[in-house]
Structure 1
C-alpha cells in the first residue's frame, strides 16, 4: 500500500510538471534559448532593433513594453522609440501629446490611431511620455500606399512637394530580391492578375519610408527600438533590407515571431528562417481583436 501511495505521488508531481505552461521563449540565431536578461544586454549593442509583432497578440505587446522599459535602463535613457502604427504626417500631434501640450482625448481626435491603440500601444507611448523619449511616427500615410496599390509606383510622382515629404525619397527602388516580395507577388497574382506588382510596390513604400524615418532619427550611442508587423522585417526583408541597402554599416537586429501549439514552445523545424532573435509564443494566447 505504501509503495502504491509513493508511486501515486510521483505520478501526480510528474503530471503537474507536464502541465506547466510557458508564456514565451526567445531563441538566438543559432537556435539556442536565450534568457530575456541576456537578450536586453545584446539589444543594447545595436543601433536599430526591429521588433516584429502580430498586431493582435497580447503577449507580444506586453513583451514590447517590458523590453522598452529594460532597454531604457540598460542604455541609461539613450533610447528612441518608433512604430509602424503612426504615420509621418501625424508626428506633430504625437509630439504635442508627448510634451504634454494636448490630452489623450485630443490625440485620439487628431491622429489616425489603430483600433487597438488603447490596449496595445498606448502603454508604450505613455512610457515614452513619462521618460521624455522621442517616439517616431515612421510609416507612410496610408492614403499614399493605397494610391500605389491602385495605380502603381509612378502615381507618387504626381504628388505635391509637400506631400512627398511624408514618403521616402523618390524614386523608391522595388526589387523582388527583397525577402518576402516574390511570395507576395505570387499570392496577389491569384487575386489581382497583372496588378500584383502594385501591391508589392505599396508594401515597398511602407518599408522604405519606415527605414528612412528610422535612419533620419538615429543618434550616436542611442538604440532605436522600432515596432512593426512581423512581415515588415521577417527573414531580414522589408525595413531591414532597405536600411541595409542604403546604410550597410548600421548594426541592426531583427526580432521575429512564431506561434506554436507545442507547450514547450520549441522552434519550428521548417518554413521559418531564423533572424537575430526569435520569439515563440503560444498560438492560443489572448488576442485583442
Structure 2
C-alpha cells in the first residue's frame, strides 16, 4: 500500500512539473518557427554583420550574447570583429590599450565612460575579445554630442572642431521619419515634446548613423562583425541597420530582435511585430541586472 501511495505521488509530481514547465528563452526564425541554438549559429556564420539586440538590464539576454559570440568564434575559426553601442569612439584608444594589455582594468574604468552594468554585462565580452585577440570597436558617438543635438538641433554639430568630427558620422546626416522606429519614437513622445521632437529624433539618428559608419569602416573580408546594441537600434531593420544599408545595400546583415513575454510558453508577439532573421523571447520576470 505504501509503495502504491508513493508511486501515485511520484506520477502526480511529474505531471505537475510538466504542466508548469518553464524555460529561460526561446529563439524563433523569421517564419515564426522555433529554432535550435546550433542551427541558428550555423546560419549566422554566413552573414557579414550580425546585430544582437538587447534589453540592457536583462541577465539572460547578456548571457546569450556571450554564448552566441563564443559559438560564432568556433564556427568562424576566430574570424570575428566585435563592436558595441556601449563604448564611444573617443574611447577607442583606451579600449585598444586594455585589449593589448597596456592598461589594467582599474585604469580602464577610470579613463572610460563605462556603463553602470559594465562589470556584469559587458566585461565578459571585452575579456573574451582580449583572451582571443579580437578587435573590439567602440562604435557610438560620444554622448555629449547627442545631448547637444537633442537640445539645439542637428546644425549644432557644424560648430565642432575637425578633431571632434572624427568621433561622429560624416556630416551631413540624413534624419527622416522613413527610418523604421522613428515614427514610433515621435508618437511615444507625444504632443508635449512640441517642435523640438525632431531634435530628439536627430539625437537618436546621430547615434545610429555613427554606429553604422563605425561598423562599415571596420568590416574585413572573411570576418563576421558582431554588434551589441539596445534592441531599439536594430529592430524592424531600423536605426543602425537602416543607416548601414544606406552605406552598402549589398551587405549580408542578420538581426536578432528581443521581446519579453509574461506567458511561460514564450510566444512571439501578435501585434506590431516585424520579424527579423532571429527573434528572441525572454520571460518578463527574468532577473534584471539593475
Give TM-score scaled by structure 1 length: 0.97
* Equivalent position SS for 2:226: strand
Question: CA shift at 1:191, angstroms?
Answer: 3.1
Who is 1:179 aligned against? Answer: 180
Distance 1:15 1:280 in 2: 24
Who is 2:53 aligned against? Answer: 52
The unaligned stretches of length 5 or more in structure 2 are none
Distance 1:212 1:78 in 2: 20
Question: CA shift at 1:3, angstroms?
Answer: 8.9
* Equivalent position SS for 2:196: helix
Who is 2:214 aligned against? Answer: 213
Give TM-score scaled by structure 2 length: 0.96
The unaligned stretches of length 5 or more in structure 1 are none
Q: Are 1:255 and 2:256 counterparts? A: yes
Distance 2:102 2:38 in 1: 36
Q: Are 1:134 and 2:135 counterparts? A: yes
Who is 1:280 aligned against? Answer: 281
Distance 1:13 1:186 in 2: 48
Question: CA shift at 1:6, angstroms?
Answer: 6.7
Could you report, residue by residue, the CA deviation over 1:105-143 in whole angstroms, capped at 9, with x for unpaired residues?
A: 000000000000001000110000000000000000000
Who is 1:94 aligned against? Answer: 95
Distance 2:196 2:257 in 1: 29
Question: CA shift at 1:207, angstroms?
Answer: 0.3
Who is 1:225 aligned against? Answer: 226
Question: CA shift at 1:170, angstroms?
Answer: 0.4
Q: Are 1:83 and 2:99 counterparts? A: no
Question: CA shift at 1:190, angstroms?
Answer: 3.0
Contact 1:88 1:139 in 2 (8 A): yes
Give matches, 1:15-164, under 5 Å: 15-164=16-165
Question: CA shift at 1:13, angstroms?
Answer: 1.8
Give matches, 1:184-199, under 5 Å: 184-199=185-200
